[in-house]
Structure 1
Amino acid sequence: MRERRSLPVVGQPPQERADAARNRQKIIEVAARTIAERGAENLSLDEVARAAGVGVGTVYRRFGDRTGLLLALLDERERRFQSAFFSGPPPLGPGAPAGERIEAFLHALVDRILADQDLFLLLEKGKTGSGRTGPYQVHHIHLATLLARACPATDAAYLADALLAPVNAHLIAAQREERGMSVEQIKAGLTTLVEAVTRA
């Protein structure tokens, strides 16, 4: 019986045989170690296959290309993040006022991106609109739902896009590296945006 899935999570694999699952886990572990040691831009599927002790065809069949492998690496952290804002403790999870949850969600999303910044930068590079599928849709629906509660007279779907727009790896990297902004300053700016939107 196939597992039922209600959320479009990045890189979520289909049900696997035990040996295929073991190979997949080995490949992901080797890829994560390679990125930690040498950076995401130096990830080579051929080298990953050799280090994992599998054929390079296995890697390509399982993940398709380097982007597919990067998405798989992000998968587990994205699942944990979604679990936190859907069912974790407040203010990120249920139980806090909508405005507080919006602020907590955007702050947590900044942390989420920073935790895998190199991977997000590679995935965003040269892909206009690539963030509009998968987790972005889950994030958008969640944020729009909270906005509809916090300010019901507004266009919640549009405001969700507007609040998510500044939370991307390239902009955050530029703010930190070119403008010298701290993570606290970035989060404070998002708080100001949330307050302006929810007041209106």
Structure 2
Amino acid sequence: MSRSETTQIRSERRDAAENRQRILNAAIKLFEQNGVEQVSMNQIASEAQVGPGTLYRRYRNKGELCLDLLKDNVDQLFNDIETYLEQNHSAPSSQRLKGVLSLFIRFRERKAQLLMGVEDSSSINPLRSRMQSPLFNELHQLFVELIDEMSISAQTHFNSTFRADILLMALSRDSYSFQRDVRGYSPEIILEQLCALFIGIK
């Protein structure tokens, strides 16, 4: 590869990095001013002073953009979960699942607006988009593993995939917000009820 080609590639990478940062900065500003739901992708492109094509090449929808904004927080969440599981490796699987749920509910409370954007991405099938996101995929895998352990220790058979699916739906924006804002349940009560329903502990 020639020196000029190398220089061009570096320039393109620098431009892409600058565009990404402009997009993220614009999104944060607009989300803080108007809320995630009220902001369109075109508004973000305009605020970032990039063309819509540039924005959509990097982010197919607002959910992907919100997930990028959440990335460091999501990484920290899973680091916290990993640390918790390592520190409590000898605890019953039901207790460890409760601990993971508690960590996610705290995360959901702190990052509600961006999670809303991830879950409500402008997909033709928002439910499928939500459940196939990296965040929910990794949580689903964790839930399945812990429910499988519960099944073995209880000498019974749980459909771990089904239980994990329903548990994630209970933690999704629509269901969680309904319990929180309409029913008036605190995060602590929601955790207690989920554990009683899905795990059999309080």
For 1:114-154, what per-residue CA distance to the aligned partner results, in whole angstroms no more than 9, with x for missing partners? 33323444554572333331322211111111222233133
Query: Are 1:95 and 2:99 matched, yes or no?
Result: no
1:185 deviates by: 1.3
Runs (5+) with no aligned partner, structure 2: 1-11
Higher relative contact order (CA 8 A, sep 6+): 1
**Distance of 2:14 and 2:48 partners within structure 1:** 16
Q: Percent identity?
A: 26
Bigger radius of gyration, 1 or 2? 2
Closer, same or farther in 2 for the Cα pair 1:158/1:49, shift >3 Å? closer
CA distance in 1, matches of 2:173, 2:197: 18
Q: RMSD across aligned C-alpha pairs, in angstroms?
A: 2.7
C-alpha deviation, 1:37, in angstroms: 1.9
Q: Which runs of 4+ in 1 moved over 6 A?
A: none
1:40, 1:122 within 8 Å by CA — same for their partners in 2?
Answer: yes
Count of residues in correspondence between the two structures:
179
Alignment of 1:3-42 (within 5 A): 17-42=13-38
User: Structure 1's 129 and 49: CA in aligned 2 closer, same or farther, altered over 3 A?
Assistant: closer
- Match runs of 1:62-141 below 5 Å: 62-86=58-82, 88=83, 90=84, 93-96=85-88, 97=91, 98-125=93-120, 127-134=126-133, 135-141=135-141
What is the alpha-carbon distance in structure 1 between the residues aligned to residue 102 and residue 132 of structure 2?
21
TM-score (norm 2): 0.74
* 2:62–2:117 contact (8 Å) kept in structure 1: no
- Between Structure 1 and Structure 2, which shows a larger proportion of helix residues? 2
- CA-to-partner distance for each residue in 1:88-123, whole Å, 9 max, x for gaps? 2x2xx3231222220011122222223332344455
**Residue segments in structure 1 that go unaligned for 5+ positions in a row:** 1-15
- Under a length normalisation based on structure 1, what TM-score does the superposition of the two structures give? 0.74
Partner of 1:47: 43
CA–CA separation in structure 2 for the residues paired with 1:195 and 1:66 = 34
